[in-house]
Structure 1
Amino acid sequence: MFYQLLKYVLLGPLLRLLFRPRIEGLEHVPEQGAAIVAGNHLSFSDHFLMPVVLKRRITFLAKQEYFTGPGLKGRLTAAFFRSAGQIPVDRSGKEAGRAAIREGLGVLARGELLGIYPEGTRSHDGRLYKGKVGVAVMALTAGVPVIPCAMVGTFEIQPPGKVVPKVKRVTIRFGAPLDFSRFAGMEQEKTVVRAVTDEIMYEILALSGQDYVDDYAAKVKAAETEQAGHGGKFPWRRR
């Protein structure tokens, strides 16, 4: 009930009025049945803008930090995500990844739409990063199509660290469903899930037009943070 209230009464009309999203390829999202919507992740605003334009309800695997933040802001954020039916995911360690996959498969087993950001975190510089294989494992295990999605312009309105977004038009593109039935039963094969994930990321890249980095976003961000802490230099690299 709260999800519907947000979408059609409280938040949805306001977001449509302010950001006037251009919607392309919405016909590719199935009207019924389980499917995964896999998108790039540029902004906190992505969590709200994509669900607003979809006709169906979508459940996202959201990082656990949204549910455990301190202070009044943390409690309000947690209450919002819980009320909207989003699922907290612990992103630390392999067991945490398995738990996320179990939660996602539960959503798909109910015939619902599952939203996931294969990069695992927001892009800190607007580029598209290497995808994690969880999306492929879920697609192959559940035998469902993957609809690639590109958020265009959300980094410009609200990059990481910016609290209040700019009022500017954005574009949301959905690509044709990707069918991976040819790999049925191969979700334990590392080379297969890597290839499937890369295919998904390629389709997102084609829709978004971003620059691509063949490395994980969290790893690159950590390295850049460490480099900044050394004044932009690593003395031992010169040796």
Structure 2
Amino acid sequence: MGTRLDATALPPEGAAALRRAYARAYGIRDERGYGHHAGLHGLPLPAWCPHHTLLFLPWHRAYLYFFERALKDLEPGADLPWWDWTSTTSHSEGLPSAYRRTAARVNTNPLATGPVPLSVADLERFRRDPVNRGAISGGALPWTLRDPGVPDELPRAQTLRRALASRSFADFSVLVEGIHASVHTWVGGAMTLISVAAYDPLFWAHHAMIDRLWYLWQLRTQGLPPAHLLDQALPPFPMTVRETLDISRLGYDYAVTVVQ
């Protein structure tokens, strides 16, 4: 499909293509659209994503793969970037510039917030739970909100190096999932809730970073998930764990393959 770039250094043409793809995906209400892909992670039920299991990394790799294919059907130049939250830029500025709100009174950046096209019944149930306040805006069609923390609280490269030194897939998966959860919490708003996290456009850049870390660990160790998982299906995707292991066969790679 293409080369995934660093979101903190995304060239203007890459950011523009990504914005066009997201904007078009927002307007599609069938299985090609943004709402369908985001909804696979949480609401509307059933929620498919496995957390706190050894399927976490393979399932999310499949998830990104099919979402990126959908984006590229709409905009061939749209490659998913990864958000390196350990970079100097992230630790001084926080969110990648491509994903921030515009200064205009009405935000015009499709990467700054995403629509949450849930049914009236799902929205009503969601809003009745006080835990969900501050995650999405009001209105008949709400949009995702964020409440990011202090930039210097983002994970550091040395934390990633410790995870990359893991000798087993199980150890690596547990450590990386914990780092991943801390970034969800740091972003705040919709990203703190499994039910609506994937509606925030930043979700995909965050998870591309997680996928990149798994790829880097694979390069270092040639390690595999446990044998009994290799032919495990990853619903709702027509893919098994084994079929996620080689990203070159999936048709993409990463522009930088070291942790700085």
TM range (shorter): under 0.3
**TM-score of the aligned structures, taking structure 1 as reference length:** 0.28
Q: Considering fraction of residues, name the structure with more strand.
A: 1
**TM-score of the aligned structures, taking structure 2 as reference length:** 0.26
